[in-house]
Amino acid sequence: MPHMHMNKNINKLIQTARADRPADLLLRNARLINVFSGAIQQTHIAVADGYIAGFGEYEALSEVNLDGSYLSPGFIDAHVHIESSMVSPAQFARAVLPRGTTAVVADPHEIANVMGAQGLKYMLDSAEGQPFEFYFSLSSCVPATRMETSGAVLTAEQLKPFMSHPRMVALAEMMNYPGVIYEDPEVLAKISAMRSYAKPIDGHAPGLTGAQLNAYAAAGISSDHECISAEEAREKLAAGMRIMIRQGTGARNLKDLLPVINPQTARRIMWCTDDRHPHELLAEGHMDAILREAIGNGLDPILAIQMATLNPAEYFHLGDLGAIAPGTRADMVVFDDLQDLVVQQVYVHGQLTAEKGRLSPDVYFQTCEAPSTSMNVDADALDFRAPAEKGRLRVIELIPDQIITREQLVFPVVRNGLAVTDVSSDLLKLVVVERHHGSGRAGVGFIRGFGLKKGALASTVAHDSHNIIAVGVDDSDLQMAVRELTSQQGGMVVVAEAAVKARLPLPIAGLMSDQPVEKVHSGMDNLLAAARGLGTTMADPFMTLGFMALPVIPELKLSDYGLVDVNKFTVVSLFTSE
């Protein structure tokens, strides 16, 4: 598959490799990590026109002595949602490049659910002309379910124009595994269309086993990043699937899956972050943090680095990435200690781009005009009242540090014929307001576990359709929070006592900021401090809030259509006589 870069001047590269013309750069005395042979070579590396020309003694226009430092290919994240960093692609690259990540395969699933093809186009446009390699997997599940209202629907026909794009290297995580197993024609059309371009199909099948896993793999699904046990990963490997080991902000599967990695399996395993929030990117790092943790837990450093470089490059057919060898792109990472991998320098296309965690001053990231966010909401027309009925109230019960919930049945607190919140028993109101099409639809429910004593929290980051979700003590605060989000074109807000306590605007689709990660992180800190001021003891109430609208994670969730019983896969009423 053709790779898109500055056109490689093959003649110049061959002449330099032959030593008949000087290299642009010679990196002397490197300990080269050769991901093909698994060996560490003491050598010099010649670079011409941003590509590796050869190993050994060469004349060069400039030389850098690495004094025995290690030299690795640039790291590749095999599956990431850039939107979870809450910044634009360019700002994301600025944050991870100094950490040694030089390429990602991103699934623009979140912005696709809000903006459809326009969102995909924005991500592709944002990738152009950057000192960083953005590749994408084509979002396969927009919308995620029919029990919520997304901003867009992407059918196989609507996806086809994107499939031939050289930056679209896979069909993204096929979450609708029942659709695959039971032969949903639309799902199979997406898979076969992408396979006709000889591009892989990424999977998403937590806990799938036995005959159902066989059916899923037989359909051509070639990877999975949802394994939580070694046993599950081994079964999927044996079925021919590649495994992406996920170490993100919410889901951390590295330690449980380390026993699966051995010299036979390692070449079919990759690392990915899936979702990493600004806080973790700044505090821990990106792929470098995963490598440090894996090596610290006893994994052979060469295998760990192969899994971060060559393996994803081969799986996604990224021809000249993922290795340092004649003809590959000179994306390289310099560090001093294999056992404690701290990135010292990063070269992109043969240019020193970052040093000691900071971008070089002359590195320029293009900014791309973002499409304006649709916020079709009339906050004043919303009605969050819940008329009391006979029987008990279905309440969403949070489970600490999990995105699964339980259903609780309680006798409602009734005032003037309405079911109301009760701070003394932590019974709060949860609302989801459709924001894409101006339908005025709002789902109303009750939830336990947030611990607010007053006020409301609201966000437009609400998986997977990203409507407005808000939790609060009384309807007027909820309404104010929705109004504020509408006027600031999306983001997050904390309100109490008829005043805004903190806000974080996310003007790109209501998901991302055009500001640097550091600024978004400090904005997030302000939000969390304000939320704690309302009484919550949760570490990150906004992260939890964002998953309360996801009707594919048991047991009880809320969409703009109302309460969803995920186990029965149907919308249910607030009250039950059970």
Tell me the residue range of the domain where 436 lies. 379-576
Residue 408 lies in a domain: yes
Task: Give me the residue label for tokens 């005009």.
Answer: 369
CA distance 100 to 333: 6
For residue 34, pLDDT beyond 70:
yes
Residue 53: inside a domain, yes or no? no
Cis peptide before 143 (omega within 30 of 0): yes
For residue 513, pLDDT beyond 50: yes
With cut-offs at 50, 70 and 90, classify the pLDDT of residue 553.
confident
User: Residues 174-180: what's their mean pLDDT?
Assistant: 92
For 465-498, give one letter per residue: b (16+ CB within 10 A) or e.
Answer: bbbbbbbbbbbebbbbbbbbbbebbbbbbbbbee
Peptide bond just before 293 cis, omega within 30 deg: no
* 3 state DSSP class of 89: helix
> What's the pLDDT score for residue 1?
29
Q: Is 121 left (phi over 0), alpha (psi -120 to 50) or beta?
A: alpha
For residue 81, is pLDDT > 50? yes
Q: Which of 312, 340, 355 is the last residue of a domain?
A: 312
Flag whether 531 is in a domain: yes
- Has residue 123 been placed in a domain? yes
Per-residue pLDDT at 36 exceeds 50: yes
Region 39-44: mean pLDDT is: 98
Share of the chain above pLDDT 70, in %: 99
Quickly tell me which residue has 């949602």 as its tokens.
81
Of 312, 342, 370, the position where a domain reaches its end is 312
State whether 304 and 393 are in the same domain: no
| 3 pLDDT above the threshold of 50 | no
pLDDT at 473: 98
Provide the Cα torsion 100, 352, 165, 198; round to 10°.
-60
- Residues 383, 261, single domain; the answer is no
What mean pLDDT value characterizes the chain? 95
Residue 2 has pLDDT above 80, yes or no: no
Mean pLDDT of 410-414: 96
**CATH code: domain of residue 131:** 3.20.20.140
Q: What is the mean pLDDT of residues 198-203?
A: 98
The answer to pTM > 0.85 is yes
Q: Please count the structural domains in the chain.
A: 2
- 128 and 252 part of one domain: yes
Residue 537 CA, chain-centre distance (Å), reads: 26
Judge whether residue 4 has pLDDT over 70: no
Question: Residue 559 pairs with which residues in a beta bridge?
Answer: 562
> Does 438 have pLDDT greater than 60?
yes
Q: Are 244 and 206 in contact (CB under 8 A)?
A: no
In a shared domain, residues 272 and 408: no
- Is 120 part of any domain? yes
Residue 323 lies in a domain: no
Assess whether 307 and 421 both reside in one domain: no
Composition of the chain by helix, strand, coil, percent to 5: 30, 30, 40
Encode pLDDT of 459-485 as tens digits.
999 999 999 999 999 999 999 999 999
Contact yes or no for 140/153 (Cβ under 8 A): no
Out of 52-61, 129-138, 360-369, 394-403, least confident range: 394-403
Which among 502, 456, 452, 450 has a CA at the least distance from the CA of 476?
456
With bands split at pLDDT 50, 70 and 90, how would you rate the model's confidence at 6? low
Question: In this structure, is residue 265 part of a structural domain?
Answer: yes
Domain termination site, one of 262, 280, 312: 312
In a domain, 29, yes or no: no
- 274 and 396 in a single domain? The answer is no
Write out pLDDT tens, residues 373-390: 879 999 999 999 999 999
